[in-house]
Structure 1
Amino acid sequence: MEGRKKVIKCSIKFRRPLPDASANTNTTLHDTEVVKGKAFDRIIQVWLENTDFETAASTPLFEELAKEGILFTKFNALTHTSEPNYVGAIGGDFFGMHDDNMYHVPANITTIVDLLEERGVSWATYQENLPSDAFYGYTFTSPDYATPSDGSYTYYWRKHNGLTIFDAIAQDPKRAARIRTFNDFANDVVNGTIPQWIFVTPNIVNDAHDTTIDFAAQWMQYWLVPLLSDSRVNGENTLILLTFDENESTNEQNTVFTLHSVRNAVPSHLKGTKDDTLYTHYSTLSTVEANWELMSLGRQDTNPIVSNVFSFIADKTGYKKLHVPANEVPMFNLSGVVPGPLTSSRYVPFTAPNVTALGAGGRGVLLRPGLDLNLTPERMPAPVNLGRMNLTTPWQMSPETTSVGGIVGCAGAECP
């Protein structure tokens, strides 16, 4: 939620992809095989930033888009700040993270990528202003295309790129090549090779983080809206999920505007309707698991209170949703610290998932090698305040880190 707001007139015209002018076109994907899902064959998540539900819902473009999909009225982000929400959406937990520092998650932690690959479902993330595939740096600064007189602007931030935070992805060259630029997206569309699971992050200006929801809406009109009519992207069985990482107000529930399946995958009789089921970013994980009968992470994706499968997909897959009474809805607007391996003030090691859990896909938990299954949450040691010993969690890196092969630890380096 931190950061300055960039003052830009909303009359700026998005005529060509200037933000990615410095990005390289990289490896070519060959994703032509399709694994059929029970409700959809492709999901595209587009994440915007830091906006309260009512602010987005009253913006004209969002009002128009809501007529073509299902509006989730009780969809909640997980916590604050931004980064833990992106991490939770990939790994099923934010592991105690409560800030936007530079972290990495060890390779023995399972992610959505493991689940997808186990079933042969292709995937990629497309990050606006990422300079090249697999870029690992904390930020990237480009010429300021919106206000050229300012010289340059830091448009790309790693904290909004959840996949690169996991070593099991970023330290695997084949997987890292699927952390892609917007130029790659254009090429993949032309080549007919965009994958089945897609995560899109606009730059920090276009996602409303450093600007306003009106500015983000204008960018969406330029970038997203044309794609809704492009069958190469939004085919008959494509589900598009438009959401926000977190809300702006820290004194109320963390409800964010979330629109499910603009135009295509949603049945016509459900278009323009609202769904008041309790959902969170973990629900997207469980929905994907249910659709392709994936294994699970055994973390919050299997916690029924926070991981209900989206309604019309639950109907098609046989998933039984959990009704959560209003007085039992957790408070997601966490601005404090919970114990975890990604915090220095209440540090505990990474624990094993619930290996006996049954996920929304009707299957068990997928484990990566090297994880101590004996270290369960019940056996977790007492949290340690590493800060009092002038230490940081071993999973925090210095922002000086620029490559997976050259991680700069916080010992002897400047870290926030």
Structure 2
Amino acid sequence: MRSFLAFGTTVAFASTAYAAIAQSFLPPAASPESSSANYTGQTNGTISNGPVVQGKVFDRFIQIWIENTDFATAASSPVFQNLSKEGILLDSFYAVTHPSEPNYIAAVGGDFFGSADDNFYHIPQNISTVVDLLEAKNISWATYQENMPYDGFTGFNFTQTDYLTGNGTYTYYVRKHNGLIIFDSVTNVTDRALRVRNFNDFANDVKADDIPQWSFITPNLVNDGHDTTIDFVGDWLNFWLIPLLNETKFNNNRTVILLTFDENETQSINNRIYTLVLGGGVPENLRGTTDSTFYTHYSALSSVEANWGLQSLGRGDTNTTMNNVFEFVANVTGWKNNGISGNSSDIPLLNITGTIPGPLNAAHYIPFAAPNTSAVGAGGQGVFVAQGLNTSLSAAALPGPVNLTAQGQISPWGTDPGINYANGTKVIASPTASSTSPGGSGGGSGGSNAAVGARAGAEVALLVGLGVVCGVAMLF
């Protein structure tokens, strides 16, 4: 196993519009494998994973997402520069829209469903995610969320003691950066919800050699650069990721690690983001190289599908423009990419936001459509169809968008269904109608206000009257 060294972070010109808070990095724990009170969430023991399912190229796939940074800004970081020598730089990798939350949703669900903000949403249970595809092949998975207060937490955010300064409180965790918790197909299934874990669990899982085969890792709002700078991110990578690259319980010779960003900062330019493929599973002859193939967040889905021969979601992961498989995976699995690369004019504008119809866009509301069941995915196994899915409700069959905002209404999917795992078991409270922050700054989501629940019901009744809630969308 190659050794990875920590690199200094001295560049001072990488501040962003989102990173308005001048803070100094402080390690939240003694090491990446140490539990810490700073993470807040209790340690819940290790998870149980089945036997390793061998992939064609890798047996473990780990995504780590950083926040809101232009390609050039990330490229200016000495830490990212040095890491690029140890892996493959994907220099034509793009996010799919703005702002943050739609990208996290798209990366696990194959679509952002028109979402154009960071508000509270939940997505109905018969809309599938990568979890459905993985579990169909008995491939273990988890997501690790730094500073999430307990496993399966569904709240909008969590505010705790400010461990950086020791004074006051700070909101380190936000739901919008936790894509899987937004899907009811995860949140409403106890065994799945409790695989949405905190960093104390991560420390235990590494020590026990229980890191699953697929995982999605989200640092907190300072360590991911959202509230800080690329240099702060570099300090966190020196503390957390670089030591783990030498830990075979995290990174063995069949591990691929995707280190990427949710979106760029400058929304007036196309959404190109600095992305690295790291890990012992990267072929030796490709380390230190650059791949200029056009990739998007959907490529992470299609590459996983190709590697394990999975079904697809029939959404962005089967869009022939957007779903290029990582070239070193495509070469082994036999998938043929579309040939788009570099600065090709065929790369679509992926900084568009607010005008794309969908069930999470109140100004351009349409119901959830079924996936394209005739799509061809990189895994070659057809399209996964969830139980209860109305496959006749295709995108072509949907009614035209309705402007709920103009009618003083919100999307019904902004109503918190009240699922709560505060005690490690599922509890469902009365729904809470909110488009921003159900659950407040520290509690679980859900509420008991009957008037609020009645309002949510009235909104659903209105949508039924408009003829826009039907088929697959009728899941309350």
- Corresponding residue for 2:82? 64
Once the two structures are superposed, residues 247-293 of structure 1 have per-residue CA deviations (whole angstroms, 9 ceiling, x without a partner) of 0001111000100124x111111100000000000000000000000
1:340 aligns with 2:358: yes
Equivalents in 1 of 2:17, 2:355: separation in Å? 17
Contact 1:34–1:121 (CA under 8 A) maintained in structure 2: yes
Contact 1:19–1:145 (CA under 8 A) maintained in structure 2: no
Aligned match of 1:9 in 5, 8, 24? Answer: 24
Q: The residue matched to 2:358 in structure 1 has which SS?
A: coil
Aligned match of 1:175 in 176, 192, 195? Answer: 192
Match of 2:56, as an amino acid?
K
1:323 aligns with 2:339: yes
Change (3 A) 1:77 1:23: same
- Corresponding residue for 1:95? 113
Q: The residue matched to 1:257 in structure 2 has which SS?
A: strand
Change (3 A) 1:99 1:19: farther
For the pair shown, the structure with the greater C-alpha radius of gyration is: 2
TM-score by length of 1: 0.95
Once the two structures are superposed, residues 99-149 of structure 1 have per-residue CA deviations (whole angstroms, 9 ceiling, x without a partner) of 000000000011100000000100000000011100111001111011223
Unaligned ranges ≥5, structure 2: 1-15, 422-426, 435-450, 457-476
Match of 1:297, as an amino acid?
L
Match of 2:432, as an amino acid?
V
Equivalents in 2 of 1:91, 1:393: separation in Å? 19
Equivalents in 2 of 1:187, 1:202: separation in Å? 17
Once the two structures are superposed, residues 207-232 of structure 1 have per-residue CA deviations (whole angstroms, 9 ceiling, x without a partner) of 00000010011011101110000001
Change (3 A) 1:15 1:183: closer
- Corresponding residue for 2:275? 258
Aligned match of 1:235 in 218, 238, 252? Answer: 252
- Corresponding residue for 1:39? 57
Q: The residue matched to 1:74 in structure 2 has which SS?
A: strand
- Corresponding residue for 1:208? 225
Contact 1:19–1:128 (CA under 8 A) maintained in structure 2: no
Q: The residue matched to 2:405 in structure 1 has which SS?
A: helix
Contact 1:138–1:402 (CA under 8 A) maintained in structure 2: no
Equivalents in 2 of 1:155, 1:402: separation in Å? 20
Once the two structures are superposed, residues 64-102 of structure 1 have per-residue CA deviations (whole angstroms, 9 ceiling, x without a partner) of 100000000100001000000000001100000010000
Contact 2:50–2:139 (CA under 8 A) maintained in structure 1: no
What's the offset of the Cα at 1:379? 1.1
- Corresponding residue for 2:99? 81
Alignment of 1:386-401 (within 5 A): 386-397=404-415
Match of 1:196, as an amino acid?
Q
Alignment of 1:156-171 (within 5 A): 156-171=173-188
1:55 aligns with 2:79: no
Contact 2:39–2:149 (CA under 8 A) maintained in structure 1: no
What's the offset of the Cα at 1:237? 0.4
Match of 1:61, as an amino acid?
V
- Corresponding residue for 1:138? 156
Aligned match of 1:249 in 266, 287, 300? Answer: 266
Equivalents in 2 of 1:59, 1:2: separation in Å? 17
Match of 1:22, as an amino acid?
T
Equivalents in 2 of 1:15, 1:137: separation in Å? 24
Contact 1:290–1:309 (CA under 8 A) maintained in structure 2: yes
- Corresponding residue for 1:297? 313
Equivalents in 1 of 2:417, 2:377: separation in Å? 36
Aligned match of 1:112 in 114, 126, 130? Answer: 130
Match of 2:114, as an amino acid?
G
Contact 2:122–2:415 (CA under 8 A) maintained in structure 1: yes
Match of 1:268, as an amino acid?
E
Change (3 A) 1:19 1:339: farther
Equivalents in 1 of 2:98, 2:179: separation in Å? 15
Q: The residue matched to 2:413 in structure 1 has which SS?
A: coil
Match of 1:369, as an amino acid?
Q
Equivalents in 1 of 2:83, 2:415: separation in Å? 40
What's the offset of the Cα at 1:336? 2.8
Contact 1:137–1:399 (CA under 8 A) maintained in structure 2: no
Q: Which moved more, 1:243-252 or 1:326-335?
A: 326-335
Once the two structures are superposed, residues 330-374 of structure 1 have per-residue CA deviations (whole angstroms, 9 ceiling, x without a partner) of 000113321000110000000011101121001100110122211
What's the offset of the Cα at 1:4? 6.3
Equivalents in 2 of 1:402, 1:141: separation in Å? 17
1:408 aligns with 2:423: no
Alignment of 1:144-155 (within 5 A): 144-149=162-167, 151-155=168-172
Change (3 A) 1:294 1:73: same
Equivalents in 1 of 2:418, 2:156: separation in Å? 8
Change (3 A) 1:64 1:34: same
TM-score by length of 2: 0.83
Identity of aligned residues (%): 51
Change (3 A) 1:354 1:61: same
Equivalents in 1 of 2:380, 2:58: separation in Å? 17
Equivalents in 2 of 1:236, 1:18: separation in Å? 29
Match of 1:320, as an amino acid?
K
What's the offset of the Cα at 1:21? 4.0
Change (3 A) 1:115 1:87: same
Equivalents in 2 of 1:281, 1:356: separation in Å? 22
Change (3 A) 1:5 1:19: farther
Match of 2:287, as an amino acid?
K
Contact 1:20–1:182 (CA under 8 A) maintained in structure 2: no
Equivalents in 2 of 1:66, 1:381: separation in Å? 47
1:271 aligns with 2:271: no
Equivalents in 2 of 1:32, 1:186: separation in Å? 19
- Corresponding residue for 2:473? none
Change (3 A) 1:314 1:328: same
- Corresponding residue for 2:303? 287
